[in-house]
Amino acid sequence: MTLHIIDTLLQLQSQKINLIFFIVMLGGSIIILLSFYLINIDSLVNDTFLPVKYKVMGIGIFIVIVHILLTYVVRLIFNKLQHAKTMICKQNEELRKIDKAKSEFIAMVTHDLKTPIVPIASYSRMLIQERFGELNDKQKEKLKVIISSTESLQNLISDIHDLHKADLDKLKLNLESVDVNEIVRQSIETVLPLANRRGVIFEDLTTPGLEINVDKQRMIQVVTNLIKNAIDFVPVEEGVIRMECQLQDNNMTLSIVDNGIGIPKEKISNLFNRFCQLDSSNNGGRSSSGLGLYICKVIIEQHGGKIWAESEVGKGTSMKISLPMTPSIDLADHSQTKKQFEVCNTESQLI
């Protein structure tokens, strides 16, 4: 109640506040003097000595002076509060303008960068497929660098766009009942070209027919990102990445386990922060914005789930996603199957 009154007073114009404080100061002084005057009249009726009456009036005048001083001090405090509030309002307005300008800039940059990258990426792929004539080995090597760089730039633009949406709380989800196994399979298919170059083996232990209520494309984005990170840090030609799911307390936990170099314990706590980057000396030369895992965290949390990492240096890492299950699903009704994808330099096959 008191805070509401103060806030209401702070919203008034200075002239009105001055008038209110003048009324409080004058009215309070009159009431105090009148009270002591009545005390003096009462003392006259009772034949009190004059010195006592003078002392009573002196106390009354002293209290009036204290009242006036306190009122003045409170008014000075209100002046400072009003000035502070005015400055805060101006700063908030400036921040709103800056935020709007930032939003417009990000939207413009992501759009304007995407426009030239699409034909660059498309023509580069057509060139390396020799649709416009034969290429020598050196030309193919340089084209692979161009394609890899354009893919990195496309991923960066996508990360910036998603980060901006997350900041504005506009990362919308289109929820539907989706098979976990389908999400994993599509994610593996997306990363096969990268895995081909590093000779990675995938073991898919997820349960077919196990459905969760999620945004399918966003979940594929998350799982793909986690698999790419695992590919970067597993040993070349010896890397193994295993996907498995477990059901506990009506939550589905999807684990992506690798036999990579592992993550130091002191770095795990910051793993899902913005711009967090691990040592890139063993990631196969692939650049990273440091936004991928943060965006994964935002997406999973919007689904009402959680994501975390378990790791031991030299023994690998397990990235875990926990999501609420579709109520009608019962893991006991499904049998566990094991599929291995062996990725070779030229093709992948199910073994």
Query: Of 306 and 207, which is predicted with more confidence?
Result: 306
Burial 166-202 (b: 16+ CB within 10 A, else e): beeeebeeeeeebbbbbbbbebbebbeebbeebbbbb
What is the model's pLDDT at position 27? Answer: 82
What is the model's pLDDT at position 96? Answer: 86
Contact 69, 25 (CB under 8 A): no
Interatomic CA distance for residues 213 and 63, integer angstroms: 72
Coil vs helix vs strand at 350: strand
Which pLDDT tens digit goes with each residue over 255-298? 999 999 999 988 898 899 887 877 655 555 555 667 889 999 99
Q: How far is CA 275 from CA 160, 161, 171, 178, 220, in A?
A: 11, 15, 19, 31, 21
Ranked by mean pLDDT, which of 88-92, 98-102, 104-108 comes out on top?
88-92
C-alpha angle 126/154/349, rounded to 5°?
60
Q: Residue 333 above 70 pLDDT? A: no
Which residues, 6+ apart, have CB-to-CB distance to 160 below 8 Å?
A: 106, 109, 110, 289, 291
What is the model's pLDDT at position 342? Answer: 44
What is the model's pLDDT at position 329? Answer: 40
Structural domains in the chain? 1-170 (no CATH), 175-350 (3.30.565.10)
226 forms beta bridges with none
pLDDT band at 5 (very low <50, low <70, confident <90, very high): low
End-to-end CA distance of the chain: 72
Q: What are the φ and ψ backbone dihedral angles of 129, each rounded to 5 degrees?
A: -85, 0
What is the model's pLDDT at position 248? Answer: 84
Mean pLDDT to the nearest integer, 242-248: 92
Mean pLDDT to the nearest integer, 95-100: 84
**Which of 7-11, 32-36, 48-52, 55-59 comes out lowest in average pLDDT?**
48-52
pLDDT band at 219 (very low <50, low <70, confident <90, very high): very high
What is the model's pLDDT at position 279? Answer: 64
| Nearest alpha carbon to residue 187 among 146, 149, 241 | 241
Ranked by mean pLDDT, which of 25-39, 58-72, 91-105, 184-198 comes out on top?
184-198
Burial of 63 (0-12, 13-18, 19+ CB in 10 A): middle
